[in-house]
Amino acid sequence: MAETTFTGVPRDQIPWFPTIDYDKCTFCMECDTFCPHRVFERREGARKLVVANPTNCVVFCRACSKTCGPDAISFPSKPETIARIKQIREGLAIK
Contacts of 29 (CB under 8 A, 6+ apart): 42, 48, 49
Q: Does residue 49 touch ligand SF4 according to CB under 6 A?
A: yes
Q: Does residue 56 touch other proteins according to CB under 8 A?
A: yes
Q: Using the rule CB under 8 A, which residue among 14, 25, 49, 68 binds other proteins?
A: 68
Are the C-beta atoms of residues 14 and 92 closer than 8 Å to each other? no
Summarize as ranges the residues that interact with ligand SF4 (CB under 6 A): 18, 20, 25-31, 35, 37, 39, 49, 57-58, 61-64, 67-68, 70, 72-73
